[in-house]
Amino acid sequence: MDIMNELPDEQFARIDDLLAFVSIYDDEQRTAAYLDMLEAEREHIKGAVCVEAGCGFGLIAAKCAQLGAKRVYAVEMNPHLAMIARRNLSPYANVQVIEQDIRQFTPPEKIDLLVQEFFGQLLFDEDLYTLQNLSFSAEAVLPHRAVLEYALVHANDYVDDVVTPQVIDQLKGALISGLFEWQSLLSNGQVLQWTREYFPKTATVDISGQSGDLLCFYLEIFHRDRMICRTGECSNWSPVWTPRAGDVFRFRFKPGKRGTAVYFDWVK
């Protein structure tokens, strides 16, 4: 979905974000996986004071309430989404929608559980870094770990009449989301990992000696060593591709006002 007319910058940004986040609900697998994760955590949710960071439509906050949370603070900074969440969450007396940046939110009581889905296709390219700047700490964060994996493949197995070897050759240095469909891949290794305590901003990976001329990056999200979602299985996260142009690549993430900028280069 694209906005086709000229709008004042601020309104454009707000509606653009709304459309981006509305489209995540096309991925029913993602939502179902999150709801299943909450079911599996029901004994920790019952009686707990919960925060949902970035509640969107409020489905996760609603599930926490249904599972017996004592109170849920559903924090959403986009005013359009906060309005929708307010409507969806109105049946739950113990859910409060807070229209605010999660970094500015100061809860009036101790928080037992923080639930979030701030993962980008390259792990850090959306809003995960905001969790590094909270004014409160939660006993538990759900989910609490995610990994950006890479796999090396042979471009000849992927090219077709449109994305030819010549096209791929022109893409050196660029990370292209969804260039090819997801196929189950064997990981060559981790690029980097996030846990609730660990927010790396760079990663340098040496792939010397590994064969393949096309790189694919993909995301895996875990809680208590159980995989919750994965690129391909949840369509919200597309695989990201780039042609190989060396033996050592580097990622740098620069968190900014709106999301996080990704820098990628070949250092050898």
Ligand X SMILES: C[S@@+](CC[C@H](N)C(=O)[O-])C[C@H]1O[C@@H](n2cnc3c(N)ncnc32)[C@H](O)[C@@H]1O
| 128 is a contact residue toward ligand X (CB under 6 A) | no
- Of 62-70, 75-83, 155-163, 169-177, the window that binds ligand X (rule: CB under 6 A) is 75-83
Cβ atoms 199, 128 nearer than 8 A: yes
Residue 143 binding ligand X, by CB under 6 A:
no
What is the closest distance, in whole angstroms, from the C-beta atom of residue 56 to ligand X in the complex?
Answer: 3
**Is residue 60 a contact point for ligand X (CB under 6 A)?**
yes
Find the binder of ligand X among 17, 27, 213, 233 (CB under 6 A): 17
35 makes contact with ligand X (CB under 6 A):
no
Q: In whole angstroms, give the CA distance from residue 172 to residue 155.
A: 13
The single residue among 16, 44, 96, 101 that binds ligand X, judged by CB under 6 A, is 101
Q: Which of residues 186-205 bind ligand X (CB under 6 A)?
A: none
Q: Write down the least CB distance from residue 118 to ligand X, Å.
A: 6
Dihedral sign of CA atoms 60, 66, 67, 73 in order: positive
**Which residues of this chain interact with ligand X, rule CB under 6 A?**
17, 21, 24, 34, 52, 54-56, 59-60, 75-78, 81, 101-103, 117, 127, 130
